[in-house]
Each structure stands twice: as structure tokens, then as C-alpha cells.
């Protein structure tokens, strides 16, 4: 990749980093003349359509963020036929927060808290736009050489209402900074970012991580179950108020953390105030991560039924015995029926069995929910998708998102995925397209035509209309339609540029005595061109223009006309170059202003001395160029009045 030019615009200079999905390079933007960072999808994923969709969705999500503490996204693109897909973003010349912590060991409260404030401020901005970072860690916090803090890699950000911890039930993010709900594989939200920021602040002020282990699984389980060593046990210099922020952010149950990034930001902004120096320690709520669910006490109910059945059996038995005795007495003790008592026991047992079966069915009805298979609603119109979910006894949760590929009011994606078995009345997330995203029309007025056209790459079409405008340089855009900051969808928008043709005629400038680059620049300013350049000896010094044709200075010429230049190759052999010392005396007390004008073989009036202030006799060395046909005169002016004229003749020596 290094040395390659992407999109005929971005030069790849060197590799500066990489992750599981992409490699990051330092690059150079030829068009705007600035350094950029270029994130290139790894080759093994370039042929995977699902990865590519996620790769460009991350750019679309991050590009909607505009905040001084978030790395800006400039452009996305691909190299046709080479399976190279890239994102162009702001280049931050500096180092990561992780490197800074490792260098210093740990940071003081006064240094760590302002960094945390800037990170939290960036999260407030992202969360307001329903974007969750989901991978906050010191490796993704950049510190510029100017001290600026920038949060980067919103690459796994997803709409806040649309994200679970993974795309395919695999763990994402760095396990040391993972929230308990991420480690569990449950739904993630804004509070997951706040937990991760709490870990980052913990590491900044202690130099250690709250959890560590031999494997990622070990660390993830600690996030779920284990307590951590409190920051002030490691570094007693930490203020109690700062420790309180960390303790609240690291509560395992999200319900007891900060309710929003804005709440945490407000707390951080006052945490170093003297009024909070002696505040009480934050106490962790002693609650399970999951609420206790109260189930029916089926054991007690079953025992009650059994007790009832046993009593019934005993009553039956007693009544039967009394009846038998009465019969025996009536029959004169002729003999009791031997089958009655066993029959009573069998009947009692059957009653108990029936009661157990009834109880089992009752428990099953209370606790068991039928499972259904999630249908596919991808690309369906919203009403059709809602109807299909209703048919499957599933509950919809709808969020909207811009998408350049999916038609408005149609489903972009769903969660859980089609074919997943879930309980009835499970909530299914439907991400619905709001259509193509509209962007602010850039301001092109004041740009040169070619530069403005380059920025219209990706728009449906553009037209250029040229008009004569004497007050505007030729080739400059002076109006546009649509105007700046109008919301447009680039792929559907036609743009009209109005470009100045400048003036039809211009005044020929004076070029004598200029170098070729100076003369060329002056001609281009007047929309004129340099024609043929001839080199000949002349009485002007080497490299200076001594003649131009076919136009004279001050003449009106057509725009686009060519001007031929004659440039001095050095003095001719008969030229005489001498230095004449001119002594000038002040005419009065105080400063006298001296100007010395030379007319010699160079053919121009040359001020050898200009606006020189003297208050005592002063000698000025004056260089003269003489020829057999041209002597020289030296005219001295004092305080604006001619004081002396000296003639210097050609001697040929």
C-alpha cells in the first residue's frame, strides 16, 4: 500500500496502526494539501459483503459527528478491481493516552480529570445522536502535540437503540474496559460507555487496571462478579470526590451508574472544586445485577393439597370402619368386608396422583412461554414488517436511520436475526430507512473552477456557466445553486456553478527589469500568457527582462494574449560598470531625507538610494552601467528637492 495513490488524491505514506478489521496509514491529500489518516479494510475482509457494509456504515455514523474532541471523517472510497476499501479521516500528530499513562506511571487528579471531561463531552455529543462508541479505552484516545484530546475509532458505533454487544454473538472491544452487560452479551447502551470511561479514569489516576487475569474470559467474569481494589487504596493522593466518580461509573448494575453522559460530565466539571474536597464516600448499592423474580411457591401449594387428600383418606377410612362395625353389629358379627379398606387406600393414592398432575400443568402454564422463529423482514416496507411480526406474536421496536441503499420506510436490518428461536412477545428491533442522508451543500464561492468541480465528486451532475465579471478574477466561482449549507442528497442533486471570465481586455503591465517568474506571475494576474522567451546580452543584469513584444506597457490588450520576452544573458562586451561615490551633506540640523536617481545604459530610472535619512555627511556608493551610446546622470534629492545633478561619461576603459 505504501507509495500508492488512492482515488487519484490520497498518497499513502506510512503505516501508523491497525486493528482487527483495518490497517491505518498516514497519508497526504493532494487536493487540499494536508496530512490525513487512511483506514484500509484488511484484505481478508474486502471480499466479504457484510464486512464492507459495516465498514462503510461506521464511516457514515462517525461522519455525522462534529465535535472538537472527536476525530473528523473526511471521505470514503474504494479502488475498483483491487478490493481496496478505505476511510479518510483527520490525522492527529501525537500519541495515545495509553502510551502517555505508561510513560508517566499514573496521572494526578488535576491532569486526569480535564482529559476525562473532554472524553465525556465527546460521548455526550455522540449519545445525543444515538451513537454508542462501545470501545472506549486509552488506545482510542489521541493526544495531539498541541495537547488536544481526540476520541477516535467510532468504528463499532451503532444506533443506541439498535445495538447489542456483537453482530454475531462474538465479543467485541477490549476486555479490560468492557462493561458487565457487554461481557454478559446483553444489550448495550450509553451506560456501557460510561463504565468504560470509569475504567479509563481508574487507570489514569492509579496506573493500574481494576481487573486483570490470565485470559479474556477470566477478566470478563471479574467484570461480572468480582469487586475491585478501590483507587485510594492504590494511590492515597486521589481526592475522595474523584474516587466517587470512578466508584459510581463502575457499579455493575447499570441502573445505579450515571444515568447519562451529561450527568457524568456535570459531575466531572465540579469534582476538583474546593467545596467537594471533604465529601462523603460513594457507597455501592448492595443489589444483584438482575432483579429477583418472584415465582409461585408451588411447594407450599402442593403440600396443602397433599394434606387435604390425606385428611380425606382418613375420614373415608374412619367412616368405613364405623359402617363396617354397624353392619357387623346388625348382622350379629357375621364378618366385615375385607376389600373396603384397601380400596380406600387405592382411591386416596389416585386422588394424590391426579392432584399432582393438575399442579404440574398449572406450574407449566405459569412458567412456560411458547417459542417462535423470528421471520425475515429485511427490505420489507414497515407496515408489512409490523404485520408479519404480529402474526408471529412478536413485539416491534422501531428506530430510524439514514441509508443510501435502502428505500425510505423499508427495513435496513433487524435484531434478532431471521431464524432465531425466541419466546413469544420478545421485542424485535427494526431499523427503518429514512432514505438517503442529506448533507450541507459546501460553499464553493471563491474557489477556482477546477477545485470546485473536484469537490462535486459524488453529486448527480453539475453545470458550469461562464460570465464576464470585471471585478472577479477569471476562473473563480462567484455563485452557486444550491447555495451553501442547503440540505441536499448528493447522488440526487444537480449543481450549477457560475464562473467568472474576468475582463475582455486588460492593460499591459510594465515588465522591464523583472525576472522571468516575476513577469509570468504579473501576466497571469492580468489573464495574459508568456509567449516565446529569448536570451540576449543587454545592459540589464543577467536574468532580467529588457524588452517585450508585440505590446508596450500601458497598452490595452485582449485577455489571453501572448507576450514575448527578451531576457538579459549578461552585459555586452562594450559595457562599462563602475561605482561612483557620492558624498551628501545634510542641509539642516536633524534628519535630512536623501533620494538618488540614476539614469544610465539600463534604460530605466533607478533609485539607487530611496528615502534614506542622514544627520551627518554620508558617502553613498552608486553602481552605474555605461555604454558607448549612453552616458549616465546621477540626480540627488534632499528633502524632496533637487540638490545636484552629476554627469558620468563613458570612457571605454
**Which residues are marked as active site?**
135
Cell of 648: 558620468
| 3 state SS of 468 | coil
Q: Of 374, 406, 369, nearest to 388 (Cα)?
A: 374
The region that residue 335 occupies, defined by phi over 0 for left and psi between -120 and 50 for alpha, beta otherwise, is: left
Q: Of 581, 608, 599, 601, nearest to 652 (Cα)?
A: 601
Q: Of 485, 390, 477, 398, nearest to 434 (Cα)?
A: 398
| 3 state SS of 639 | coil
| Rounded Cα–Cα distance for residues 616 and 609 (Å) | 16
Q: How far apart are the first and last CA of the chain?
A: 67
| 3 state SS of 424 | coil
| 3 state SS of 595 | strand
CA–centroid distance for 520 within its chain: 43
Cell of 596: 538618488
The DSSP secondary structure of 110-132, one letter per residue, reads: HHHHHHHHHHHHHHHHHHHTTEE
Q: Tell me the Cα Rg of the chain.
A: 44
| Rounded Cα–Cα distance for residues 50 and 56 (Å) | 10
| 3 state SS of 302 | helix
Q: Which residues pair with 143 in a beta bridge?
A: 95, 149
| Rounded Cα–Cα distance for residues 59 and 74 (Å) | 9
Cell of 464: 458550469
**Whether the Cβ atoms of residue 126 and residue 133 lie closer than 8 Å to each other:** yes
Cell of 445: 464561492
- Residue found by looking up cell 398432575 in the block: 357
Query: DSSP secondary-structure letter at 490?
Result: G
Amino acid at each position: 500500500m505504501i507509495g500508492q495513490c488512492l482515488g487519484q488524491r490520497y498518497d499513502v505514506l506510512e503505516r501508523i496502526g491497525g486493528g482487527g478489521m483495518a490497517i491505518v496509514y498516514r497519508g497526504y491529500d493532494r487536493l487540499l494539501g494536508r496530512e490525513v489518516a487512511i483506514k484500509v479494510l484488511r484484505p481478508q475482509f474486502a471480499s466479504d459483503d457484510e464486512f464492507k457494509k459495516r465498514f462503510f456504515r461506521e464511516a457514515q455514523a462517525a461522519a455525522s459527528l462534529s465535535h472538537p474532541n472527536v476525530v473528523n471523517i473526511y471521505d470514503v472510497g474504494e479502488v475498483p478491481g483491487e478490493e481496496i476499501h478505505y476511510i479518510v479521516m483527520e490525522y492527529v500528530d501525537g500519541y495515545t493516552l495509553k502510551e502517555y499513562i505508561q510513560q508517566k506511571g499514573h496521572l494526578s487528579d488535576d491532569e486526569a480529570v480535564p482529559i476525562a471531561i473532554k472524553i465525556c463531552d465527546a460521548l455526550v455529543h455522540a449519545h445525543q445522536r444515538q451513537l454508542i462508541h462501545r470501545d472506549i479505552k486509552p488506545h482510542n484516545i489521541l493526544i495531539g502535540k498541541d495537547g488536544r484530546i481526540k476520541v477516535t475509532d467510532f468504528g463499532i458505533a451503532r444506533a443506541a437503540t439498535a445495538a447489542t454487544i456483537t453482530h454475531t454473538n462474538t465479543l467485541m472491544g477490549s476486555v479490560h474496559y468492557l462493561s458487565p452487560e457487554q461481557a454478559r452479551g446483553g444489550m448495550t447502551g450509553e451506560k456501557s460507555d460510561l463504565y468504560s470511561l470509569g475504567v479509563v479514569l481508574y487507570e489514569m489516576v492509579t496506573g493500574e487496571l481494576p481487573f486483570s487475569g490470565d485470559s479474556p474470559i477470566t477478566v470478563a467474569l471479574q467484570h461480572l462478579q468480582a469487586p475491585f481494589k478501590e483507587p485510594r487504596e492504590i494511590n492515597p493522593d486521589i481526592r475522595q470526590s474523584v474516587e466517587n466518580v470512578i466508584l459510581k461509573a463502575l457499579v455493575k448494575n447499570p441502573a445505579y451508574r450515571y444515568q447519562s453522559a451529561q450527568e457524568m460530565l456535570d459531575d466531572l466539571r465540579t469534582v476538583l472544586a474546593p467545596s467537594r474536597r471533604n465529601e462523603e464516600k460513594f457507597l455501592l448499592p448492595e443489589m444483584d445485577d438482575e432483579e429477583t423474580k418472584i415465582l409461585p411457591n408451588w411447594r407450599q401449594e402442593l403440600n396443602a393439597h397433599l394434606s387435604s387428600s390425606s385428611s380425606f383418606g382418613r375420614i373415608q377410612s374412619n367412616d368405613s370402619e364405623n359402617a363396617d362395625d354397624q353392619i357387623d353389629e346388625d348382622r350379629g358379627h357375621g364378618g366385615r368386608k375385607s376389600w373396603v379398606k384397601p380400596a380406600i387406600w387405592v382411591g386416596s393414592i389416585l386422588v394424590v396422583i391426579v392432584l399432582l398432575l393438575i399442579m404440574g400443568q398449572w406450574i407449566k402454564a405459569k412458567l412456560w412461554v411458547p417459542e417462535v422463529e423470528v421471520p425475515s423482514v429485511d427490505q420489507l416496507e414497515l407496515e408489512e414488517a409490523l404485520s408479519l411480526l404480529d402474526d408471529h406474536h412478536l413485539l416491534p421496536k422501531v428506530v430510524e436511520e439514514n441509508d443510501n441503499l435502502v428505500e425510505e420506510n423499508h427495513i435496513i436490518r433487524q435484531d434478532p436475526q431471521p431464524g432465531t428461536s425466541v419466546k413469544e412477545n420478545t421485542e424485535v428491533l427494526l431499523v427503518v430507512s429514512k432514505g438517503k442522508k442529506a448533507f450541507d451543500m459546501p460553499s464553493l464561492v471563491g474557489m477556482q473552477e477546477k477545485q470546485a468541480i473536484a469537490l462535486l465528486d459524488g453529486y448527480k451532475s453539475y453545470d458550469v456557466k461562464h460570465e464576464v465579471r470585471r471585478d472577479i478574477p477569471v476562473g473563480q466561482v462567484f455563485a452557486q445553486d444550491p447555495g451553501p449549507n442547503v440540505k441536499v442528497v448528493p447522488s440526487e442533486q444537480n449543481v450549477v456553478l457560475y464562473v467568472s471570465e474576468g475582463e475582455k481586455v486588460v492593460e499591459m503591465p510594465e515588465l522591464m527589469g523583472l525576472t522571468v517568474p516575476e513577469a509570468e506571475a504579473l501576466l497571469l494576474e492580468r489573464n495574459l500568457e508568456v509567449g516565446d522567451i529569448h536570451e540576449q546580452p543587454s545592459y540589464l543584469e543577467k536574468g532580467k527582462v529588457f524588452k517585450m513584444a508585440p505590446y508596450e506597457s500601458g497598452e490595452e490588450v485582449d485577455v489571453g494574449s501572448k507576450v514575448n520576452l527578451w531576457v538579459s544573458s549578461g552585459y555586452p562586451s562594450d559595457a562599462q560598470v563602475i561605482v561612483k561615490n557620492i558624498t551628501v551633506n545634510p542641509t539642516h540640523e536633524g534628519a535630512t531625507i536623501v533620494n538618488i536617481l540614476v539614469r544610465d545604459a539600463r534604460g530605466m530610472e533607478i533609485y539607487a538610494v530611496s528615502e534614506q535619512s542622514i544627520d551627518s555627511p554620508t558617502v553613498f556608493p552608486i553602481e552605474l552601467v555605461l555604454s558607448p551610446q549612453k552616458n549616465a546622470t546621477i540626480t540627488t534629492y534632499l528633502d524632496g528637492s533637487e540638490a545636484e545633478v552629476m554627469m558620468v561619461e563613458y570612457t571605454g576603459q
